[in-house]
């Protein structure tokens, strides 16, 4: 169920009207049910994974602050994923089936988890908290690692073995990537870590916690929320606020504009430029990367806006994820503006624990580079993502180590413009790495930069007009909301201008030429 | 607390509703109902009381202006040609009816003493599905021969327009927006004024699943048409046999570059596919076989469209192929 589908509009409409008529407890159940329907529409089997994460994190969160629950409660809750899978298998006769070994694992999980839970309580008091934190982290990272990276690492290891002359002839199982797994596991990790550090309090109601972890607007592609930001909003009934309603609708309209009008239409050009076998020259290589830059920004920030708008209609505030990233003047500025909740997650849970800026310069560089490498790997199991992370890590280090560069990027006037253009050029190279299917394809893209006239049948300047026609309205919107640094913030505009802008955006979305394109970040 | 519905929202609603009402008052339903139009059998055909049929240019079925009698005059060999921009343009961007090969076929046969009437039904962007609608229509006007040019280029567009035609007729809420004249007009304006001029070729050649792309990537693929297109063609041939109307299937040729940058000619497997459909009353003319010995730079104006001298050449080849049939049909 994609945000730009009619089924989502219907779901949101039903939830919206029911939500404001229910008392607090009813709202929590409604959100939970809607979230599970939303997630189950992708693939019902993977709800079991979400339920497993929810169970482990709920009990571990409580255990970290020393609250013990009866083992029967633990076992009964841990049996829910198995019950779900069992029911799914019984009632689903065709299509995506649950394999027997997965059913067996789900059946064994309640016993295993209940025994482990009991055993960990026998540890000395000082080590209990750490052990439960570790259990939560290992479960989340294990699930993420297996479902997201098994194919990649096992495939790479086999390829290496064959390259070295050893061919075991193993057939690897094909593991399907559950949608949004990277987002909700990261949210789970921040929940456990923040409780461990004493920054947050655990949820004491399993339904509230399940609704928090699976909150449908941000479940599959963020923003990655921290427990202190989102969880308290589930503990109290939000009061109706017309301003929230207006802002929610505006966020959804702007989000659809960015996704459907800007992102999907720029994708038509980017898909051509990065298609296998296309013979690019330099203008096409640059245009392809430029089109992808607007595609991915429109797609992801559009998604975030719709997520924030949907939540806002329910009186729930989600964090900003973007802040005019292509106007960044340095790599560190870029990461303060692009996918803010992910970059701050890596800063707080990876970079700072590694040592951050403390220690010698070499250590700081290593920390920075490793963090970005992991951030790249987070995006997907592909060498191009790892190289993209390494590239951004190298950029950050380059700016830190080059004397005067950071200062130059913070200056104003023409220097700021130069810094902005330079950073945008670096960003375009990064997007080329990100978009290429293989490293070889990226090398070809780089090679194309040296060819100013390739035997290419399709002229580049015509598609360039198409990209400009879809990117310029977005830039105009950013220009008009520059002061507020928020594309939705138009309170200072005359109401007539606002009305015309809404009509124009609606028409731009409704008459979009591109077919429905899936959100890029759903695959992460 | 702010008002629930603000003046800006009312203005937005007023602008959209006003534009919709304006368009409904000023434009004819057939001109605006774009998504049905391309799939409506009668659009572009205007029959008058004196028995004449006028083909009229329109925003989506952009025929050449032509007139013929509903009933075929005695002793006349009547040809309908179905195709796309290759039949519509005599060179890219230029459309002079008398220069196109369908018109030149008539010229050639008339020169050989056979009274021939040729009606060019080529419409830019058309593929097999919409040509099937035209084929059925043409059968109602007593044709002596139908020339059906097959081309994989527009199959992607064909599917999107077919989807839109379905959406236009659908009653589901997700299709309600397409009932609006404003949305339809905006969409068509964007498609015809911007998309076709800037991006058409890019989309056509890179859309995943595009048959031409598949064939280019895997030359072993023999059937460039998907099931829908194949079924459409088979139904046309079945109907033609039932009506006793002969059909000449012309297969498109494509100019492309090989790895070394040299031009070569391809049919993307069309010839092999179409050969399986030939037989009783159905013949085939391969443009690839006809043009492969010629200098390709001069034969085509781009990857697909024919240069003016090539139109002449194709017309002569068709005239040669159908001359015997035409003489028999007209008693010459």
* CATH number of the domain residue B122 falls in: 3.40.50.1110
Query: Higher-confidence residue: B21 or A221?
Result: B21
Question: Which residue in chain A has the smallest CA separation from B183?
Answer: A511
Q: Across all residues in chain B, what is the average pLDDT?
A: 83
Give percent above pLDDT 70 in chain A: 94
Does the structure show a pLDDT above 80 at A170? Answer: no
- Give the mean pLDDT of A439-463: 79
Most confident range, picked from A171-175, A403-407, B112-116: B112-116
Domain-embedded: residue B172:
no
Model pLDDT, residue A519: 57
Question: Which residue in chain B has the smallest CA separation from A512?
Answer: B187
Question: Which residue in chain A has the smallest CA separation from B188?
Answer: A511
Does the structure show a pLDDT above 70 at B204? Answer: no
Does the structure show a pLDDT above 80 at A90? Answer: no
pLDDT, tens digit, 9 for 90 and up, residues B239-285:
999 999 999 999 999 887 766 667 888 888 888 888 999 988 999 99
pLDDT, tens digit, 9 for 90 and up, residues B219-238:
333 335 677 788 889 999 99
Active site residue A379: yes
How many residues appear in chain B?
332
Please report the DSSP string for B3-65 in residue order: -SS-HHHHHHHHHHHHHHHHHHHHS-HHHH-HHHHTT-TTTTEEE-TTSEEEE---SSS----
pLDDT, tens digit, 9 for 90 and up, residues A120-162:
888 888 788 999 999 999 989 988 888 887 777 777 777 787 7
Domain-embedded: residue B324:
yes
Interface residues on A facing B, Cβ-Cβ cutoff 8 A = 6, 241-243, 245-246, 268-269, 271-272, 275, 277-278, 455, 457-458, 462-463, 465-466, 469, 495-496, 498-500, 502-503, 506-507, 510-511, 513, 515
Model pLDDT, residue A350: 92
Q: H or E element: which one contains B147?
A: strand B145-150
- Give the mean pLDDT of A360-383: 90
Q: Given an 8 Å threshold on Cβ–Cβ distance, is A458 in contact with B205?
A: yes
**Cα separation values, A171 from A155, A158, A174, A175, B197, Å:** 10, 10, 9, 12, 49
Model pLDDT, residue A486: 81
pLDDT, tens digit, 9 for 90 and up, residues B121-164:
998 888 888 899 999 999 999 999 999 999 887 776 677 777 77
Q: In the structure, what pLDDT confidence band is assigned to residue A506 with cuts at 50, 70 and 90?
A: very high
Does the structure show a pLDDT above 60 at A322? Answer: yes
Q: Phi and psi dihedrals of A196, rounded to 5?
A: -60, -40
Chains A–B, number of C-beta pairs less than 8 Å apart: 99
* pTM of this structure: 0.79
**Cα separation values, B106 from B80, B117, B305, B310, Å:** 11, 6, 21, 16
Q: H or E element: which one contains B254?
A: strand B254-257
Domain-embedded: residue B150:
yes
Domain-embedded: residue B80:
yes
Does the structure show a pLDDT above 90 at B1? Answer: no
Q: How far is residue B294's CA from residue A82's CA, in Å, rounded to a whole number?
A: 70
Choose from B198, B204, B213 for mutation: most chain A CBs within 10 A. Answer: B198
Domain-embedded: residue B181:
no
Which of B11, B189, B202 has its CB closest to that of A499? B11
Does the structure show a pLDDT above 70 at A518? Answer: no
Does the structure show a pLDDT above 80 at A257? Answer: yes
Which ipTM was obtained for this model? 0.79
Domain boundaries, given as residue ranges, for chain A: 23-234, 243-329+410-523
- The four Cα atoms B23, B28, B32, B36 give a dihedral, to 10 degrees, of 150
Q: Across all residues in chain A, what is the average pLDDT?
A: 87
B198 touches chain A (CB under 8 A): yes
Domain-embedded: residue B20:
no
Q: How far is residue B208's CA from residue B227's CA, in Å, rounded to a whole number?
A: 17
B177 touches chain A (CB under 8 A): yes
Does the structure show a pLDDT above 90 at B114? Answer: yes
Q: How far is A14 from chain B (nearest CA, A)?
A: 15
- Give the mean pLDDT of A99-111: 75
Question: Which residue in chain B has the smallest CA separation from A516?
Answer: B160
Q: How far is B221 from chain A (nearest CA, A)?
A: 17
Our measurement of the distance from residue B102's CA atom to the centroid of its chain's CA atoms, rounded to an integer in Å, reads: 13
Model pLDDT, residue A87: 80
Q: Which of A339, A379, A392, A470 is catalytic?
A: A379
Model pLDDT, residue A206: 92
Chain A hits for B201, CB-CB cut-off 8 Å, are 457-458
Does the structure show a pLDDT above 80 at B211? Answer: no
Question: Side-chain half-sphere of A417: how many Cα atoms within 13 Å?
Answer: 2
Q: Given an 8 Å threshold on Cβ–Cβ distance, is B199 in contact with A6?
A: no
Does the structure show a pLDDT above 50 at B210? Answer: no
Is there a contact between A146 and A14 (Cβ–Cβ < 8 Å)?
Answer: no
Query: Higher-confidence residue: B183 or B169?
Result: B183
Spatial CB neighbours of B287, under 8 Å, sequence gap ≥ 6:
B250, B251, B252, B253, B267, B314
Does the structure show a pLDDT above 60 at A405? Answer: yes
Domain-embedded: residue B4:
no
DSSP state of B250: E
Domain-embedded: residue B294:
yes
Please report the DSSP string for B269-299 in residue order: THHHHHHTT-BTTEEEEEHHHHHTTS-HHHH
pLDDT, tens digit, 9 for 90 and up, residues B43-97:
888 899 999 999 988 656 778 999 999 999 999 999 999 998 899 988 766 788 9
The conformational region for residue B331 under phi > 0 = left, psi -120 to 50 = alpha, else beta, is left
Q: Given an 8 Å threshold on Cβ–Cβ distance, is B4 in contact with A510?
A: no
B260 touches chain A (CB under 8 A): no
Lowest pLDDT segment from A42-46, A293-297, B160-164: B160-164
Which of A269, A465, A499 has its CB closest to that of B15? A499
Report the 10 Å Cβ neighbour count for A438.
12
What is the DSSP pairing of strand B66-69 with strand B52-55?
A: antiparallel
Task: Quote the domain boundaries for residue B288.
Answer: 37-155+216-330
Q: Where are the alpha helices (DSSP H) in B115-199?
A: 128-139, 155-169, 181-189, 196-198
Q: How far is residue A142's CA from residue A136's CA, in Å, rounded to a whole number?
A: 10
Question: Which residue in chain B has the smallest CA separation from A493?
Answer: B8
What's the number of domains chain B is made of?
1
Report the 10 Å Cβ neighbour count for B275.
13
């Amino acid at each position: 169920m994609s945000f730009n589908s009619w089924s989502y509009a219907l779901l949101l409409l039903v939830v919206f009207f029911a939500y404001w008529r229910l008392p607090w407890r009813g709202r929590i159940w409604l959100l939970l049910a809607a979230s599970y329907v939303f997630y189950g529409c992708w693939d019902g089997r993977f709800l079991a994974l979400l339920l497993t994460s929810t169970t482990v994190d709920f009990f571990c969160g409580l255990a970290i602050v020393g609250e013990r629950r009866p083992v029967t409660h633990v076992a009964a809750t841990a049996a829910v994923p198995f019950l779900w899978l069992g029911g799914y298998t019984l009632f689903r006769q065709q299509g995506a089936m649950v394999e027997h070994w997965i059913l067996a694992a789900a059946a064994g999980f309640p016993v295993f988890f209940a025994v482990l839970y009991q055993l960990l309580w026998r540890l000395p008091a000082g080590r209990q908290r750490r052990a439960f934190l570790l259990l939560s982290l290992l479960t989340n990272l294990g699930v993420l690692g297996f479902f997201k990276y098994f194919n990649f690492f096992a495939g790479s290891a086999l390829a290496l073995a064959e390259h070295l002359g050893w061919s075991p002839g193993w057939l690897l199982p094909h593991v399907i990537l559950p949608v949004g797994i990277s987002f909700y596991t990261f949210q789970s990790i921040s929940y456990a870590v923040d409780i461990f550090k004493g920054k947050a309090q655990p949820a004491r109601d399993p339904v509230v916690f399940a609704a928090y972890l699976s909150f449908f607007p941000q479940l599959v592609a963020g923003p990655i929320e921290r427990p202190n930001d989102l969880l308290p909003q589930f503990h109290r009934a939000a009061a109706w606020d017309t301003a929230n309603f207006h802002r929610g609708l505006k966020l959804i309209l702007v989000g659809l504009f960015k996704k459907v009008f800007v992102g999907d239409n720029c994708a038509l050009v980017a898909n051509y430029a990065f298609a296998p076998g296309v013979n690019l020259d330099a203008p096409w290589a640059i245009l392809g990367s430029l089109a992808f830059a607007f595609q991915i920004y429109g797609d992801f920030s559009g998604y975030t806006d719709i997520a924030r708008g949907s939540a806002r209609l329910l009186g729930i505030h989600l964090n900003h994820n973007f802040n005019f990233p292509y106007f960044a003047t340095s790599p560190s500025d870029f990461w303060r503006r692009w996918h803010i909740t992910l970059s701050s997650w890596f800063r707080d849970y990876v970079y700072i624990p590694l040592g951050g800026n403390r220690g010698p310069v070499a250590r700081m560089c290593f920390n920075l580079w490793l963090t970005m490498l992991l951030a790249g790997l987070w995006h997907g199991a592909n060498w191009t993502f790892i190289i993209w992370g390494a590239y951004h890590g190298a950029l950050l280090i380059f700016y830190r180590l080059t004397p005067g560069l950071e200062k130059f990027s913070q200056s104003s006037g023409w220097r700021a413009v130069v810094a902005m253009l330079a950073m945008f050029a670096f960003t375009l190279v990064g997007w080329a790495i990100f978009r290429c299917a293989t490293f070889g394809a990226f090398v070809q893209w780089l090679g194309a930069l040296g060819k100013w006239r390739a035997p290419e049948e399709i002229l580049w300047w015509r598609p360039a007009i198409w990209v400009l026609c879809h990117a310029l309205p977005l830039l105009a919107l950013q220009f008009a909301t520059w002061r507020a640094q928020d594309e939705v913030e138009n309170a200072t505009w005359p109401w007539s201008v606002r009305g015309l802008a809404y009509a124009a955006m609606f028409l731009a979305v409704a008459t979009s030429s591109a077919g429905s394109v899936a959100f890029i970040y759903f695959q992460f | 607390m702010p008002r629930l519905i603000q003046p800006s929202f009312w203005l937005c609603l007023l602008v959209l509703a006003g534009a919709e009402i304006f368009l409904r008052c000023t434009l004819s339903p057939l001109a605006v109902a774009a998504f049905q139009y391309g799939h409506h059998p009668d659009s572009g055909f205007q029959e008058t009381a004196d028995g004449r049929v006028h083909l009229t240019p329109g925003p989506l079925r952009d025929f050449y202006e032509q007139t013929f009698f509903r009933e075929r005059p005695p002793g006349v060999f009547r040809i309908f040609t179905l195709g796309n921009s290759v039949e519509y343009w005599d060179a890219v961007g230029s459309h002079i009816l008398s220069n196109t090969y369908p018109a030149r076929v008539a010229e050639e046969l008339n020169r050989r003493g056979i009274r021939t009437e040729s009606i060019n039904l080529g419409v830019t962007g058309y593929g097999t599905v919409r040509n099937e609608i035209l084929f059925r229509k043409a059968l109602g006007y007593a044709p002596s021969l139908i020339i059906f040019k097959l081309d994989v280029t527009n199959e992607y567009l064909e599917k999107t327009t077919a989807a839109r035609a379905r959406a236009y007729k659908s009653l589901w809420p997700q299709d309600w927006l397409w009932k609006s004249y404003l949305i339809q007009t905006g969409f068509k304006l964007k498609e015809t004024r911007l998309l076709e001029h800037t991006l058409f070729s890019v989309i056509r050649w890179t859309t995943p699943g595009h048959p031409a792309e598949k064939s280019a990537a895997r030359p072993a693929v023999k059937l460039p048409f998907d099931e829908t297109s194949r079924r459409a063609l088979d139904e046309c041939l079945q109907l033609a046999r039932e009506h006793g109307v002969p059909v000449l299937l012309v297969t498109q040729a494509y100019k492309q570059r090989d790895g070394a940058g040299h031009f070569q000619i391809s049919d993307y497997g069309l010839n092999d596919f179409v050969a399986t459909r030939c037989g009783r009353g159905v013949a085939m003319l391969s443009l690839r076989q006809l043009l492969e010995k010629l200098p390709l730079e001069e034969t085509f104006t781009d990857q697909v469209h024919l240069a003016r001298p090539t139109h002449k050449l194709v017309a002569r080849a068709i005239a040669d192929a159908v001359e015997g049939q035409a003489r028999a049909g007209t008693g010459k």
